[in-house]
Chains A and B, each alone.
Chain A
């Protein structure tokens, strides 16, 4: 079935370090791919998205490229800040049959000053 696998956390980085959170997916058809961020005690916020192969989503210094050949959508940021500490969810949304969103397990990021 359709699924999303992302690297386990927690990930602990120092401020200004580079971040990569790996995400791979399994899906029938051609889903849209998303990264969501959840700050402590809050709901989900859309961070970025890509709707077709080779699209690059970007926002707030974060980037991810939809790689169909490797079925991946890795999240990257060149220089993290303490305020980036949160849980990051990779997700796919099927473009047919109800448009369900399927989430990865989430990766908790801690950024130290």
Chain B
């Protein structure tokens, strides 16, 4: 099956710094990528949808200036958590949808665990 890779798998950073998380589709082109956030023992909440070459669409309540999303190519999307605070500590997961007409499949990365200290 199609592979989506996230990097890093885990990261610890200090309060006030910024952290960038990469999401790559390794063997297909992804016209759309999704970013989710998962708090401990909770479900995944969609943060934003990004389409290659255009601005991301953020879900209600998600600060777009805090969670910067860039989808500059068909195989790479990045999520940057700016001025991170301990409450931003969470598990972040991306998924990517192939750019094939009629495809509704989406493939998930392995997730990135962010800890802000």
Contact = CB atoms under 8 A, between A and B. Distances in A.
Given A44-B108, A98-B49, A103 B32 contact: no
Interface string B85-108: 000000001010100000010111
A100 B49 contact: yes
Size category of the A interface is 20 to 34
A67 B70 CA distance: 38
B54 interface: no
Given A42-B111, A44-B93, A105-B42, A98 B106 contact: no
Size category of the B interface is 20 to 34
Given A99-B32, A99-B97, A101-B34, A89 B110 contact: no
Contacts of A42: 110-111
Contacts, number: 49
Prevailing SS type, chain B contact patch: strand
A98 B109 CA distance: 19
B14 to A, nearest CB: 23
A58 interface: no
B31 to A, nearest CB: 10
A93 interface: yes
Contact of B43 (A32, A100, A106): A106
A78 to B, nearest CB: 25
B68 interface: no
Given A100-B46, A101-B34, A93 B106 contact: yes
Contacts of B43: 89, 103-106
Interface of B: 1, 6, 32, 34, 41-44, 46, 49, 57, 93, 95, 97, 104, 106-111, 113
Interface of A: 32, 36, 41-46, 51, 89, 93, 95, 98-106, 108
